[in-house]
Amino acid sequence: MCIAIPGKVKSIVNESTATIDMGGICRDVNMVLMGGADESMIGKHFLVHVGYAISEISEEESEETMRILKQLAGLEEIDTFESESP
């Protein structure tokens, strides 16, 4: 199984590379599969796999995916509701 990490474009490095913030960790990511990198991408969200942006996603999907990944890693509490007995 492969996992893609959601992130937000912070800046453009050059025509094929953008700096993406993935949960507080910023990495230079190859944007060639998205048609290259340009200033219009700043603030947009992408899924990143092995250093490549592979898909543009909504901000909501990005935040929800990161929340789930943090839960799986034990970095965030999982909300649980216990039923009360009468």
Tens of pLDDT, residue by residue over 30-71, are 999 999 999 999 999 999 999 999 999 999 999 999 999 888
The answer to whether the CB of 34 falls within 8 A of the CB of 56 is yes
| Residues 42, 37: Cα–Cα separation, whole Å | 9
pLDDT of residue 72: 87
pTM to 2 decimals? 0.82
Task: Report the topology of domain 5-72.
Answer: SH3 type barrels. (2.30.30)
The full set of domain ranges for the chain reads: 5-72
pLDDT of residue 78: 56
